[in-house]
Amino acid sequence: MKSNPIVIGINTVYHESSVCVVRGAEVLAFAEEERFNRRKHAKPADIDTVDEIPVEALRDCMLRAGITAEDVDYVATSFDPALRQPPLDEPVTAGSWGHADGERLLLERLNRIPDEVSKVLGADIRDRWVWVPHEMSHAASAYLASPFEEAAVLSIDGIGEHSTALLAYGRDGRIEPLDTVVYPNSLGFVWEKLAKFVGLDEYSAPKLMALAAFASPDRYRETFEKIVQRDGGGFTVDLDTFRFRVEDYEPLEELFGPRRTGGPGAPFEYRYAEVAASLQEMTEEVLLTLAGRLKEMTGSANLCLAGGVALNCVGMGRLLNDGPFDGVFVQPLAHDGGTALGAALLVARQKGRVSGRFVMTDPYIGSLPPTPAQVEAAIAAAPVKATRLDDAPRTAAELVADGKVLGWMQGAAEVGPRALGNRSIIGDPRNPSTKDRINVRAKHREYFRPFAPSVLESEAADWFEFARPSLSTRFMSFAVKVRADKRALVPAIVHVDGTARMQTVSAEVNARYHALIREFKELTGIPLVLNTSFNTYDEPIVYTPADAIRTFLRTGMDALIIDDYLIERDPQ
């Protein structure tokens, strides 16, 4: 076995297309295709796009890693066609998922993926190809990036090949599967279906989670107990109610009333918030049930989580504060994009002798930092004026303290769906109007969605309630209560239920962002700022200086700072 083999991990079958290159346990590069093609989620999760590989992310990672195809020992993708099960007897759409013709087309397109990757690399890598089970890729992305030598592991999402959740145990760099949950018992699909029921889209679980805080779960609690049942440490979903494979909402309308239609401008009736509240409560109970079962099975003090459901920060907050584990690590790349990382790290260990461990202490592995020449070229190409700053964090803090909405871009890009201080929009948490100003002027999104705080790590416990520390507070993984005596001081980051999705910031991990918040504290006495992702509702997080300037110009942000440049609109 080769020491520290070079492995390319690729996620491409569904969406969130991504690439990772590792040398043993060392991550050389990671990239998400959406950051290049500027399409949210990179591509739709359709059978027709299965073999649409992340070309730009692959080229970028090869360049950043400084390798050629000849250097690559293995290519791992986070899907194993051999695990795909025959279609169930359920309503399906002709030619699509679960339909006999669609499943045949799926296998055809899966078999084309190694050829498509070979074309991009300019070499035949089919003899170095490894298919990695989807849920195992999620699990590896969590455990093999965690600070724990041993841990219980939970992957839970919509669907992989046929499984929808994996319960496992990680120890000494190996992952032992303990149990799986299989389709149609999918918590992720329940969220997608109900998001569409309330007039959103399948990617709107965060919106539904935000809406849940506005209502009580009492009205539909018993209904959810019938259609998503907990049994024997797991859960089962009533397929007749949800009909996942077709756009049929009649059974849900019988339970919850008419589906919301009419587009984005249609009103949200209170019962939609009641549905969301019951869904959220059920999800938290399922997560606690699965965590309790894992605790019994493994006896571990630690838990690692990944999969799309692990992006439910309210549920993660419950696990942190009320769960049975002392240590909780939530992968910031919990969505399918993280499976490229997991597949690569897992195959490196399975196929080679790996020295050391990878611990994701920070999320800033999504790009190289922009060069001064790249920043200056983007400025020169846009109708803006730029001022060179002696102290960018101080200027940023002054602008935010003065009530300005500020775009902030610096260094390497963070990975995953949440901006964590390198591609962020920053605002004053003291002013209750900040939230509405950013929603209307910059983000153009629903009024009921909250914004997160970035807080100095050393002062987080004084402002937020969390039972135990976690590395994943740096990733905005947990929604926790804002301390009651602090809420009136920072109303812009407090959700209607008194919670906030906290990100802790340390000087060791992000010195410039930490300096910005520290300077803001010196000016205001408040050790946190409002932080949201630097994008609008219809685009991914900005990636390059040109992206940042373009988004700044098409929104109502007051100013933009990229590295050491203050950028404003050119009045001419």
* Residue tagged active-site, from 15, 41, 134, 335: 15
Q: Is the peptide bond before 184 cis (omega within 30 degrees of 0)?
A: yes
Helix (H/G/I), strand (E/B), else coil: 167? strand
**Sheet order of strands, 423-427 included:** 384-388, 565-569, 559-562, 406-409, 423-427, 528-533, 452-456, 499-505, 478-482, 464-465
**For 294-331, what is each residue's pLDDT tens digit?**
999 999 999 999 999 999 999 999 999 999 999 999 99
528 CA to centre of own chain: 22
Specify the pTM: 0.97
Backbone angles phi, psi at 188, to 5 degrees: -60, -40
CB-based contact 120:58 (threshold 8 Å): yes
CB-based contact 450:495 (threshold 8 Å): yes
Helix (H/G/I), strand (E/B), else coil: 127? helix
In whole angstroms, give the CA distance from residue 495 to residue 323: 23
In whole angstroms, give the CA distance from residue 208 to residue 478: 16
In whole angstroms, give the CA distance from residue 570 to residue 379: 11
pLDDT mean values, one per 10 residues, the chain (572 residues): 96 98 98 98 97 98 98 98 95 96 97 98 98 98 98 98 98 97 98 97 96 98 97 92 98 98 90 98 98 98 98 98 98 98 98 96 97 97 97 98 97 98 98 88 80 97 97 98 98 97 98 98 98 95 98 95 96 76
**For 75-85, what is each residue's pLDDT tens digit?**
999 999 999 99
Catalytic residue check, 514 = no
A 10 A CB-CB count for 398 gives: 14
Is the four-CA dihedral 454, 456, 368, 352 of positive or negative sign? negative
Domains of the chain: 2-145+332-353 (3.30.420.40), 182-330 (3.30.420.40), 372-569 (3.90.870.20)
